[in-house]
């Protein structure tokens, strides 16, 4: 059954990374574009993120990491989603992610990874396009 209503996205800061300015800017931009955004806050575990995403019936999860632990946390979220049968949730991320880590994250389903300084309009447009296309395909 095709979804209707606003796009629902969960944003999270996994691990011990305490820098949340960027994710809060993304949150405001997505909300200003008419999306429903759930923000789990700082220091959220992959298990908490996946549980919240399933409970809230979101279409996408956005993770942010500036601490260097992105691969551990991002990959665990992807693994847990698959384990829970929720691999249809779109994954995207942002933060400081070295080029050598991009392939493993792409293979885990993170096809959109945004470095610091990415225009908010680009993130909003990418998500709207991807999720609207996905809705039409359901």
Whether 19 is catalytic = yes
Domain coordinates in residue numbering, the chain: 8-137
Catalytic residue among 19, 20, 101, 126: 19
At residue 66's C-alpha, the angle toward residues 72 and 102, to 5°, is 55
Return the exposure string of 3-12: e unless at least 16 CB atoms fall within 10 Å of the residue's CB, then b: eeeebbbbbb
Distance CA 116, CA 95 (A): 6
Predicted confidence (pLDDT) at residue 26 exceeds the cutoff of 90: yes
CATH for the 8-137 domain, from 3.40.50.2020, 2.60.40.10, 3.40.50.280, 3.90.1520.10: 3.40.50.280
Predicted confidence (pLDDT) at residue 138 exceeds the cutoff of 70: no
What does pTM read for this prediction?
Answer: 0.93
Cβ atoms of 35 and 9 closer than 8 Å? yes
Quick one: which of 80, 63, 56, 77 has its CA closest to 7?
56
Q: Starting from the edge strand earliest in sequence, which strands make up the sheet with 90-95, in order? A: 36-39, 8-12, 60-65, 90-95, 110-114
Distance CA 91, CA 76 (A): 12
Runs of H (alpha helix) within the chain: 21-32, 46-56, 70-83, 102-107, 120-137
Over residues 116-136, the mean pLDDT reads 94
Q: What are 55-99's pLDDT values in tens digits? A: 999 999 999 998 767 888 999 999 999 999 999 999 999 998 999
Cβ atoms of 66 and 117 closer than 8 Å? no
């Amino acid at each position: 059954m095709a979804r209707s209503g606003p796009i629902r996205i969960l944003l999270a800061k996994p691990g011990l990374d305490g820098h949340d300015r960027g994710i809060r800017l993304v949150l405001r931009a997505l909300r200003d574009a008419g999306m429903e955004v759930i923000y789990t806050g700082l220091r959220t575990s992959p298990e908490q993120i996946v549980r919240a995403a399933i409970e809230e019936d979101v279409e996408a999860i956005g993770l942010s990491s500036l601490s260097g632990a992105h691969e551990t946390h991002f990959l665990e979220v992807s693994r847990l989603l698959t384990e829970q049968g929720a691999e249809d949730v779109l994954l995207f991320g942002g933060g400081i992610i070295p080029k050598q880590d991009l392939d493993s994250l792409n293979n885990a389903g993170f096809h959109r990874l945004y470095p610091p300084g990415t225009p908010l309009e680009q993130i909003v447009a990418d998500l709207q396009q991807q999720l609207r296309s996905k809705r039409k395909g359901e």
